[in-house]
A and B are shown apart, each in its own frame.
Chain A
Amino acid sequence: MRSHHLLRWGLAAAGAAGGLGVALAEGELLPTLAVATAFGLGHLVPVRTETGRRQPLSPAVAAAAALSLSLWPVLCGAALGLPLGWVLAGLRFGQQESADVLPGEAAGLAAFTAVMTGLGALLPGADGAWAQLTMLVPAGGAWHLASSGARAGWTEMRRRFGAGFLWRTALTDWPAYVVLISAGALYGLTRESMGWWAVLLAALPYLFSHLAFSRLATTAATYEQTIRALGRVPEAGGFGLPGHAERSADLAVAIGGELGLSATEIRRVEHAALLADIGRVVLVGSARPAGGEGVVGDVAEWSAAIVAEAPALRPVAAIVGQSCRPYRRPGEERDPALTPSAQAVKVAAAYDNAVGSGAAPVDALEMLHRGAAYDFDPEVVAALRRVLLRRGCPGL
């Protein structure tokens, strides 16, 4: 952890010093400082993506600068501005939130510049507005892919979740990149003919999108918090293990990532794991026993019925409803209708219940392996094992 921290600071300082040095040597100090300031300030007013991440305005600055300046001020400005922005973002939003920003932005910018330069060399006569706009499409895509990959590889979350899952999740942020590249290009392509009005032209549609994304991110966060709060209701009523819903959801998400589920499906898995026990409140209310083998199916059934009352959560309800079913029955093949999502929820909940009842992690895993003949899908149990190994679970 400490070496990561030092590496980040070392790279940032080296980049800034290099950028400044080259700018001085090339005699491009003023444009470099202007670009660096834009990169730096762009970290203070980031756009919020649906996943809640703060994306700095760097792609917009890069697109605008690439269309209106020569190569050196852009590269030197970025080398100076990105570390500056990283520090500013750290001060404003906290070190924890800005930890993976710098590698993401640096990798994105490198890919963007490489594609723009490469296409410029391949098509030397393509300097019209439409040609430049066309070149921005692959360049922007390269930024998104590289930046998402770098963040997925660098983040501290790597200890909890697989890189593939993190990368797939990061790639769902593409609308923010479309907006940023478009706004930057709009400025770059109209600056000459419209002067400073080009700033307003780029800013107004951007602000519209910025407002939309910000509202969406806030509402998405509220929705998540509501589901988490409702998932904790059985615990608050004393009908379940404290923290069971949160822990199961965390494990189920990691298992879903290992199984290669899509980002949307993993969100459903998370919600299903959080709400899988909500039916206990009805079972307890109807004076039936709330625990034991016989009622597991009832809990899932009631939970699914309650969750299905919300139309938006019907796919989640389906996962909850299936989460009590064995993956195959004696003498039968694997049930094709049973989704991996439901199995991930089932395995995560069973593991947490075992550990919560006092079993050591290795014993809890052993218990799942014993049920692998019929109850628990061996592939899902293996995915859980990989997750626990990555997290450094003792005894494995």
Chain B
Amino acid sequence: MAAAGAVVLSVLALVQSVPRPLWLWGFLAAAYVVLEYSAVEVSDRLLVSSSVMVAFGAVVAMGRDSGVLTVAVMAALAVLHPSYLRVRRWQLPVANFGQLVVSTAVGAGLLALLLPGGPLTGGHIPRVLAAAVPAALLHDWVNFRLVAFMTRRFYPERELQPWSRMISQHVAMALLAVLGALCGMAYLLAGPVVLPLVGLTFVAGHAGFASYARLRRAHLDTVQGFVKAVEALDPYTRGHTDRVVYFAAATGQRLDMTPEQMERLRWAALLHDVGKLAAPPELVHSTGPLDEGEQAVLVRHMRLVEDLLAGIKVLAPVVEILDEYHRVGAGGEGRLEARVLAAADAFDAMTSTRSYRAAVTQLQAFARLRERSAALGTEVVEALIGTITDRGEVYGSPDAVSAAEVERLVKERVVRA
């Protein structure tokens, strides 16, 4: 990969002229390097690096004769990230060098080919903008193929989304490329005064997206912190929420849920027990299984907290799922997310030791889940079982003898209590 990058760079050095003016090249190269490693999350899990905007702007501003070399050298400079130096990961920058130089040179090359010959004027703007779109898509595609190649080689366990399903990514890339090309034209027609203005507007937006990502993280951390507080009320349920989130997400993935469904499912799994914060302590700390009446009281108190959360616009659909999850738990009906959550919760409850009973074996838990297929849905139960089996994971007591021994110890403890 690195050799391919070096060859591309050498060929470009032979056929293209040195970028002029040098100060502009320096300015754009600095912007490219910074943006290449400052991808921002513009919406849920859609990460966008704005370096393509700088690259395409540079091709237009520098012209056909030196534009491709200009951006290829910028890409070559961007390979060394401080974090690589800190942990001395030399393999990654070497591979990145080839990936960045080749994909950037291919995209920039197509744009340069499609640019009109001679000095660019205001009348060329539509053609330049139109040329930026296929060039951006080609850059995006080559980049994806190279990243996929390296990922399969170095991280074979990672799953990659196919290129054809990353529509929002392509739209974002094309828009950034068009903006870059337009900025390049503005530089040629109005002079360098446009650079600080575009830069300021863009940096402010970039900082806004970075703050948005930080705040999303803080929001999630805050809710997780309170979930830990719930779990602190009962040592037997420690880690329960994390496991339910894990089982639910794995099952949802196997059922091919949409990203929106997955997001709601994760939040619902995270919040499914937070209502216990307001529940009567004697129920939360019960040393025996709850009877129907106690279960109803517990659910009523949990719903008080869920009602508070329902007032938050973003969480309202999640609370609807929680409502249906309680219904599914009582044998009623519910949408797919609620049934997946109920199955994940039931599986973890069965395979964990509680104050009043021991964990059952995984096979016993599977059997009991299958008995509840009517309420949970056969496809949900089989997806959960299939996911755990395929991953080779084992939960609960290792065998029936151990389960019986733990059961005996638990009963002794209850009698002593």
Contact = CB atoms under 8 A, between A and B. Distances in A.
A212 B50 CA distance: 14
Contacts of A219: 212, 215-216, 219
Contacts of B182: 197, 200-201, 204
Contacts of A306: 225-226, 228-229
B189 A193 contact: yes
A284 B200 CA distance: 53
B202 A205 contact: yes
B135 interface: no
Interface in B239-297: 277-279, 281, 284-285
Given A194-B190, A281-B229, A285-B284, A312 B205 contact: no
Contacts of A234: 278
A307 interface: yes
Interface in B199-247: 200-202, 204-209, 211-212, 214-219, 221-226, 228-229, 232-233
Interface stretch (B147-155, B301-309, B393-401): B301-309
A216 B312 CA distance: 16
Contacts of A110: none
A159 interface: no
A223 B222 contact: yes
Given A183-B201, A219-B212, A306-B229, A237 B190 contact: no
A268 to B, nearest CB: 13
10 contacts: A182-B197, A183-B197, A185-B197, A212-B207, A212-B212, A222-B313, A229-B305, A285-B233, A310-B221, A313-B218
Given A219-B219, A282-B229, A236 B304 contact: yes
A395 interface: no
Contacts of B281: 284-287
A201 B122 contact: no
A129 B212 contact: no
Nearest to B221: A310
B68 interface: no
A194 B123 CA distance: 9
A90 B43 CA distance: 30
Q: Which 5 A-B pairs have the closest CB atoms?
A: A212-B208, A309-B225, A237-B278, A209-B205, A312-B218
A195 B194 CA distance: 15
Contacts of B122: 193-195, 197
A213 B232 CA distance: 37
A129 B205 CA distance: 24
Interface residues of B, number: 63
Interface string B183-202: 10110011101101110111
A310 B185 contact: no
A230 interface: yes
Q: Is the interface of B mostly helix, strand, loop or mixed?
A: helix
B18 interface: no
Nearest to A271: B222
Nearest to A238: B278
Contacts of B201: 178-179, 182-183, 186, 205-206, 208-209
Contacts of B183: 201
A220 interface: yes
Contacts of B62: none
Contact of A216 (B175, B191, B212, B222): B212
A310 B224 contact: yes
Nearest to A133: B193
B115 interface: no
Given A186-B201, A222-B313, A313-B222, A282 B232 contact: yes
Interface string B97-113: 00000000000000000
B204 A226 contact: no
Contacts, number: 199
Nearest to B313: A222
A284 B278 CA distance: 10
B173 to A, nearest CB: 13
Contacts of A313: 218, 221-222, 225
Contacts of A124: none
Contacts of B212: 212, 215-216, 219
Contacts of B175: 204
Interface string A221-255: 01101110110111011100000000000000000
Contacts of A307: 225
Nearest to A287: B281
B157 to A, nearest CB: 28
A301 interface: no
Contact of A237 (B179, B185, B215, B301): B301
Contacts of B178: 204
B311 interface: yes
A145 interface: no
Contacts of B314: 218, 222
B92 interface: no
B315 interface: yes
Interface string A278-294: 10011011110000000
B175 to A, nearest CB: 7
Interface string A308-333: 11111100000000000000000000
A223 B208 contact: no
A216 B125 contact: no
Given A208-B202, A281-B278, A309 B208 contact: no
B219 A226 contact: yes
B281 to A, nearest CB: 5
Interface string A177-189: 0110011011001
